[in-house]
Structure 1
Amino acid sequence: MHAIESAPGRTAAPSSGLRERKKQRTRDALVRAALELFSLKGYEGTTVDEIAGAADVSQRTFFRYFAGKEEVALAVQHMVESHFFAAVYDRPAEEPPLTALRAAVLASWDTIEEAIQAVVPLELHIRTYRMIQETPQLLAAHLRRLAELEDQLAQEIARREDLPADDPRPRILVAAFSGVMRETGKLWADVVDGDMAELRRTTARYLDQIGPALAENWRS
């Protein structure tokens, strides 16, 4: 069989799949360049021009993908959070809420390292996480994002349990769950030092303490 040739003087239009892959490669290159520069020069000491130059694109191209430095700094962390939220949606409808949240986060840890490493080295992501915690502007943006995700999680649990919007139990559960996740996140960056298997074990151990911590008499 002969290959199909395009008309003389014209090139075949790339498929939408190819275009999307090219866009994803450019986006990932910008994220890697930004996080590497932040690690070397600090968040405040890095400019958008430097990020674009390191990724070998124009400033205009940078702004096609990101609104600014804040968004690119949080890009991988947002990916991690979205990965978890998708895992919640995949849980069987008959699972109790805390069981579903626990299973979703542990399942997401099984695949999230590969997803992170497809964009940046895990060690660079850890350094970026620490930078987010230490940079007031980034920490504020990160916490705003978490608050939005907590609202979405509470709404999803209410939907799963067929509860009215004013039932406080989904929000209370999500608040307790989010507190555990923030604590294990800090341990991961500061103590576990990026060991995903250890993070998974620590997360499971901490989540298993929610019920006893709320119900038990600690002095007994």
Structure 2
Amino acid sequence: MAEKEEVGRRERKKLMLRDALISAAYELFAEKGFDETRVEDITEKVDVSARTFFRYFSCKEDVVLDYQEAEHQEFIAALGERPPHEPVVTALRHAAVDVVRSCEKGSYGFDADRFMTLQELLRSHPLIRAKTLQNGVNRRDSIVALIAGRMGVDAENDIRPSVVAWALDYAHTAAHDLWKKRSSSALYSDVLDEIFVIVEEGFNFPALQVR
């Protein structure tokens, strides 16, 4: 029993240190910029060695990508819990917006500022964007499989689940761009929901009728 308690204590300490490194990294990313933040700056803020940092992350980019993976897993769980009768894009919209709102409110270790720092890095920093695209194949495959299951179709023979999964990428990119143009006057989650309403209702807008 005592041995299990000791193991549990060590694991908790590891998680606390990992969270401290992440928090320090995001504070520095927001304050100094990603490129100007060194691993040594992060470890100095937490008062640990660089060797300790590399026990948890292979590079500082992994701090960002780690959060992206956590957000993805929460999205997959949220999408899987949507009512089975709900249309696919409606389910996608509610799952995506609910996860973002939870992040903005502090769930999953995020807060609103950290979440927006993450979104900015994912879409604006060339190296992180490249790694995101590289890692995105498996994430998209898992979304396609879940959508295909909801629809009762084979994604190998039906392109619709893939098209819907790509619409999720579009919605997030469009929401980020629109959010920036609005000078951050609205919550990202509200802008994302607004984008999804348009996607849900359809893009085939009527043309101007010339008389």
| TM-score, structure 1 as length reference | 0.78
1:141 paired with 2:131, answer: yes
User: Match for residue 153 of structure 1?
Assistant: 143
CA distance in 2, matches of 1:202, 1:46: 30
User: Match for residue 126 of structure 1?
Assistant: 116
User: Match for residue 39 of structure 2?
Assistant: 48
Q: Report if the CA contact (8 A) 2:104-2:115 is conserved.
A: no
> Tell me, which stretches of 5 or more residues in structure 1 are unaligned?
1-5
Q: What is the aligned residue count?
A: 208
Q: What is the identity percentage for the equivalent residue pairs of Structure 1 and Structure 2?
A: 30
Quickly say closer, same or farther: Cα 1:91–1:58, change in 2 above 3 A. same
CA distance in 2, matches of 1:194, 1:72: 27
Quickly say closer, same or farther: Cα 1:186–1:83, change in 2 above 3 A. farther
1:69 paired with 2:60, answer: yes
Structure 1 residue 174: Cα displacement:
1.6
User: Which residues in structure 2 correspond to 1:6-155 (within 5 Å)?
Assistant: 14=5, 17-115=8-106, 119=109, 121-155=111-145
Counterpart code for 1:156: L
1:205 paired with 2:207, answer: no
Structure 1 residue 202: Cα displacement:
2.4
CA distance in 2, matches of 1:16, 1:91: 37
CA distance in 2, matches of 1:49, 1:91: 43
User: Match for residue 164 of structure 1?
Assistant: 154
Quickly say closer, same or farther: Cα 1:16–1:100, change in 2 above 3 A. farther
User: Match for residue 188 of structure 1?
Assistant: 179
> Tell me, which stretches of 5 or more residues in structure 2 are unaligned?
none
Q: Report if the CA contact (8 A) 1:126-1:194 is conserved.
A: no
Question: Who wins on radius of gyration, i.e. which is larger?
Answer: 1
Quickly say closer, same or farther: Cα 1:205–1:71, change in 2 above 3 A. same
Counterpart code for 1:141: K
